[in-house]
Structure 1
Amino acid sequence: MSNPDVSERSPRSREEVFDTLADSTRRDVLRIVHGRSSNGVSKTDLAFELAAVTTDTPLASVTDDEHQRALLDCQHKHLPALVDAGLVAETDDGTIVTTDHWLFDDSEFDAILTGRTDDETDLDTLFDALSDSRHRTILTVLGNQYHPLSTETLARDVAAREAETSERDVSQERVERVLISLVHVHLPHLNDAGLVGYDAEMGSVSYEGHPSLRTDWLGSNPDRLQSAAESTSTESLETDSSDDVRTLRGRESIVTTGQSLCETAEDELFMMFTTTGLLEEGCFRRIEDALDRGVDVYVGSRDPRVREIVRERAPEVVLWEPQLDWLNLPPNGESVGRLVFADREAVLLGTLGTPPADGEYDETALIGEGADNGFVVLMRRLLGSRLDHLDAPRETNQSEIPL
């Protein structure tokens, strides 16, 4: 056996790792080797300890037959899989040792290894679900959300991430293919695993998580889930967040969250965008869906190109040009890039940092939900009577609201 490149974090390596870990006996083997990692363990001793664990008997009570079966299983089934996954290696003298694989640096994974539980079947299900790259992408998207997403919103985000492009550049045909796979294969599987809540009739998906699931395991860029990891460690989706203001970092999580807020609107959807670069295809679909539901939609921008694009795509939207440049904060501050205000009870306010070399803004957003949420109340007072202009009858879709 040889020691593969254990620093590799490619999607394929993750699939091999989690597929290997979706077997309680292999986790037992890894647990035993990890416990002897300083000097390693011989295959004979490993088989004795494995037989004792799997038969739940003292080491001295293991029979020759039990030891032989365990030895054969180790040699022909478990060790080859663990070696291929880069988790263990065999030294020149035949000793089995753990590698310097990145999983061993994770405290939660170490806790799984050191603490065998009565619910090992639950871990089988978890790791089996994580062995599929699309499952991990789905969980990455949902992990950034604090309320359910529609299956189409999820499909568009998943398709964009898998293609490593923006949502506006993903074809509708690709989105539909992903959507079909989600509703017929992946979401039912993840729902059965207890990782998501999936309502097929309503077409909505929510993140349920797992106490042992780490965001670092889901992809090569765990920073995407930093805000979700901080939040879900201390609160659940059902927690009363009327006084909670959360911070989102990164364009992907902000776009998806903004679109999901659009889906919650029942009466009124108030939006602002400073540039065309902030308009995603998914934004238009959420706007069109809201109009179809009878929601009053208002979109404002000082950029005439934004207003023209929205007018062409969604002529029923009420457009206006803000008369005050309130979207720019004081000097040395970050300009406001986007605003989504749903039913005046949920708000997302995104700011734009300095564009890096690739032209993508380093976006940050604040989000608050609930009529009594402090941030929501502040935004209502900030806009004040200006929002009331939206209630006045109008004959055209052009207005000059002094915002």
Structure 2
Amino acid sequence: MSLPPALEPTTTAADVLADPHRRALLAVLRDREGQSPAAATAVGPAMPIADLGTEVAAVERGTPIVPDDHCERRHIELVHRHVPRLVDHGVLTRDAEGDEPTVALTAHPILDLEWVRTLLADPTGDAIPLDEETLTRTLEALREPRRLTVCTELASRGGSIAVDDLAAGVLVREGEADRPADAADPQRTAVATELAHKQLPALAAAGLATHDDESGRAALGTDAPHWDVDWLADGPLAEAAAFVRSDSTRRARLEREPSVPARAIARDPDESRRAGTDVESCWTLEGEANVAERGDEIAAGADQELFVMAPSAVLLGTTCLENMRNAADRGVDVYAASRSPRVRDTVRSTIPTATVCEPRFDWFSFPVDAPQCGYVLLADREAAMLVTAESGADDEDDESIRTGAITGEGRENALVSLVRAKLGPRLDRLATAGDETDGTPLPM
């Protein structure tokens, strides 16, 4: 199993912090380091382990007055269990010389992670909507890199998924297959078994996922309070949270915005047939629900090639990502263009086979820097849609969004012809150059 190196600091930090006693220990030393001139050096100020046991007991009980027997028990646990574990991780140094053994923080990289600093400022989780037991279970669950990958894969699907399909997606994210369909059956079965019996139960115990043994399906706990904990959503769960937040924003807009029926703006199809022409009409769409439905239809109909340009993660959305991924799984060549680094990184992690690029041109007079417009969809160069989204009111406090689109179908359709003429040559160049290089070869 190949694991992304970027996950190592996160999983190491989760392993270190999974025990509440170790969280309290590091919080005490971190606080002591912050009060000392030695905090700027590579190693923090040393502290006798006996004194450390007393302060850890005080932090855990929330009072400076702690019975001696409790302090003694904590001291023994630190000496025989927690200090050796942290020394092995390289987070602490231990000096046994002298009358009293001492410990000190090292300059370990995990202590510089912003989410770790935030957690150590509140080691018992008093200021977050998670009880200490759930916090501990969450950190225990995140000790294994594959569980982070499972969270991201579940979040990208936006709903329940068969565990067998989840296993294939995990193998793609871990670099063991280019597409889910390419995952070897024995490997896929082995991963699915591990997910069902080990990884998903751990995530379910933490409240991050649901898993039904009978149906063989799993889903991310998108309503879990974890997504309201900033240091979790911006730290160890950041990749999954990007999907969750994008999807929740889209759902909130759909709830605010009533569905408006599509409105034809060109010739009626019957009228076209009477006129003896095969040119199909263009039509406009109003309302995010209608626009999303049409986007799903275009993506689902792609057989050979699908191009999506999305200026922001909100406009991209979980549903669009799922449609793009499904197209890639069918063997469709998927192209994604965006000026947003977040969008490009999200597409790369979700659809490893996609060609991802950064547009450098002002498409159809749409300012690609502006988040309110510039969404383009083209499938097989035979169906196209241009989307705009703008503020629904002049009031700065009104966050409502008005979404609309113009769409058309058929190679002779005026809109499709225009989009094809603009994009076709550049897609051809991207495809040709993509066979020769590992990265994105050309700007759009």
Q: State the TM-score, normalizing by the size of structure 1.
A: 0.56
Q: Work out whether residues 381 and 420 of structure 2, in 8 Å CA contact, stay in contact via their aligned partners in 1.
A: no
Q: Deviations over 1:36-84 (max 9, x none)?
A: 124433323211101223444424x542x33332222112111121222
Relative to structure 1, the CA distance from residue 9 to residue 152 in structure 2 (aligned partners, 3 Å threshold; closer, same or farther) is closer
Q: Which residue does 2:20 correspond to in 1?
A: 24
Cα distance in 2 for residues equivalent to 1:248 and 1:122 = 30
Q: Which residue does 1:195 correspond to in 2?
A: 208
Q: Work out whether residues 176 and 183 of structure 2, in 8 Å CA contact, stay in contact via their aligned partners in 1.
A: no
**Equivalences, count:** 293
Cα distance in 1 for residues equivalent to 2:110 and 2:64 = 30
Q: Work out whether residues 30 and 113 of structure 1, in 8 Å CA contact, stay in contact via their aligned partners in 2.
A: yes
Structure scoring higher RCO (CA < 8 A, sep ≥ 6) equals 1
Q: Work out whether residues 15 and 139 of structure 2, in 8 Å CA contact, stay in contact via their aligned partners in 1.
A: yes
Q: Which residue does 2:422 correspond to in 1?
A: 330
Q: Deviations over 1:371-401 (max 9, x none)?
A: xxxxxxxxxxxxxxxxxxxxxxxxxxxxxxx
Q: Work out whether residues 196 and 213 of structure 2, in 8 Å CA contact, stay in contact via their aligned partners in 1.
A: yes
Q: Work out whether residues 53 and 78 of structure 2, in 8 Å CA contact, stay in contact via their aligned partners in 1.
A: yes
Cα distance in 1 for residues equivalent to 2:29 and 2:435 = 45
Q: Any gaps of 5 or more consecutive residues in structure 2?
A: 37-44, 258-287, 293-309, 336-347, 355-378, 383-408
Cα distance in 2 for residues equivalent to 1:16 and 1:70 = 24
Letter in 1 for 2:246: S
Relative to structure 1, the CA distance from residue 261 to residue 169 in structure 2 (aligned partners, 3 Å threshold; closer, same or farther) is closer
Cα distance in 2 for residues equivalent to 1:10 and 1:231 = 23
Letter in 2 for 1:100: A
Relative to structure 1, the CA distance from residue 237 to residue 255 in structure 2 (aligned partners, 3 Å threshold; closer, same or farther) is closer
Cα distance in 1 for residues equivalent to 2:426 and 2:319 = 16
Q: Any gaps of 5 or more consecutive residues in structure 1?
A: 1-7, 263-270, 284-299, 304-319, 338-350, 365-403
1:47 to 37, 43, 53: 53
Q: Work out whether residues 327 and 336 of structure 1, in 8 Å CA contact, stay in contact via their aligned partners in 2.
A: no
Q: What is the Cα deviation at residue 31 of structure 1?
A: 1.1
In terms of mean alpha carbon deviation, does 73-82 or 98-107 score higher? 98-107
Letter in 2 for 1:107: E
Cα distance in 2 for residues equivalent to 1:230 and 1:173 = 35
Q: Work out whether residues 352 and 362 of structure 1, in 8 Å CA contact, stay in contact via their aligned partners in 2.
A: no
Q: What is the Cα deviation at residue 207 of structure 1?
A: 2.1
Cα distance in 2 for residues equivalent to 1:90 and 1:329 = 69
Cα distance in 2 for residues equivalent to 1:241 and 1:180 = 37
Relative to structure 1, the CA distance from residue 10 to residue 182 in structure 2 (aligned partners, 3 Å threshold; closer, same or farther) is same
2:86 to 82, 97, 105: 82
Q: What is the Cα deviation at residue 358 of structure 1?
A: 3.8
Cα distance in 2 for residues equivalent to 1:200 and 1:260 = 26
Q: What is the Cα deviation at residue 147 of structure 1?
A: 3.4
In terms of mean alpha carbon deviation, does 110-119 or 42-51 score higher? 110-119
| SS class of match (1:217) | coil
Cα distance in 1 for residues equivalent to 2:172 and 2:116 = 30
Q: Work out whether residues 334 and 353 of structure 2, in 8 Å CA contact, stay in contact via their aligned partners in 1.
A: no
Cα distance in 1 for residues equivalent to 2:324 and 2:161 = 9
Relative to structure 1, the CA distance from residue 363 to residue 73 in structure 2 (aligned partners, 3 Å threshold; closer, same or farther) is farther
Relative to structure 1, the CA distance from residue 200 to residue 282 in structure 2 (aligned partners, 3 Å threshold; closer, same or farther) is farther
Q: Which residue does 1:182 correspond to in 2?
A: 195
Cα distance in 1 for residues equivalent to 2:435 and 2:244 = 25
Task: Please show how residues 272-311 of structure 1 align to structure 2 within 5 Å.
Answer: 273-274=332-333, 301=380
Q: What is the Cα deviation at residue 229 of structure 1?
A: 7.0
Q: Work out whether residues 9 and 109 of structure 2, in 8 Å CA contact, stay in contact via their aligned partners in 1.
A: no
Q: Work out whether residues 324 and 334 of structure 2, in 8 Å CA contact, stay in contact via their aligned partners in 1.
A: no
Task: Please show how residues 2-401 of structure 1 align to structure 2 within 5 Å.
Answer: 14-38=10-34, 39=36, 40=45, 41-59=47-65, 61-63=66-68, 65-90=69-94, 95-115=102-122, 116-117=124-125, 119-167=131-179, 168-208=181-221, 210=226, 211-212=228-229, 213-214=232-233, 216-217=235-236, 227-228=242-243, 231=246, 235=248, 239-241=252-254, 247=312, 257-258=322-323, 273-274=332-333, 301=380, 328=420, 330=422, 335=427, 355=434, 358-361=437-440
Q: What is the Cα deviation at residue 15 of structure 1?
A: 4.4
Q: Work out whether residues 301 and 321 of structure 1, in 8 Å CA contact, stay in contact via their aligned partners in 2.
A: no
Q: Deviations over 1:89-112 (max 9, x none)?
A: 346986533333344334333222
Q: Work out whether residues 142 and 206 of structure 1, in 8 Å CA contact, stay in contact via their aligned partners in 2.
A: yes
Cα distance in 1 for residues equivalent to 2:320 and 2:118 = 35
Letter in 2 for 1:22: A
Q: Work out whether residues 153 and 256 of structure 1, in 8 Å CA contact, stay in contact via their aligned partners in 2.
A: no
Cα distance in 2 for residues equivalent to 1:86 and 1:106 = 15
Relative to structure 1, the CA distance from residue 206 to residue 226 in structure 2 (aligned partners, 3 Å threshold; closer, same or farther) is closer
Q: Percent identity?
A: 22
Q: Work out whether residues 203 and 209 of structure 2, in 8 Å CA contact, stay in contact via their aligned partners in 1.
A: yes
Cα distance in 1 for residues equivalent to 2:189 and 2:418 = 39
Cα distance in 2 for residues equivalent to 1:175 and 1:110 = 38
Cα distance in 1 for residues equivalent to 2:33 and 2:244 = 30
Cα distance in 2 for residues equivalent to 1:91 and 1:357 = 56
Q: Deviations over 1:141-171 (max 9, x none)?
A: 2233433333333211101223444125421
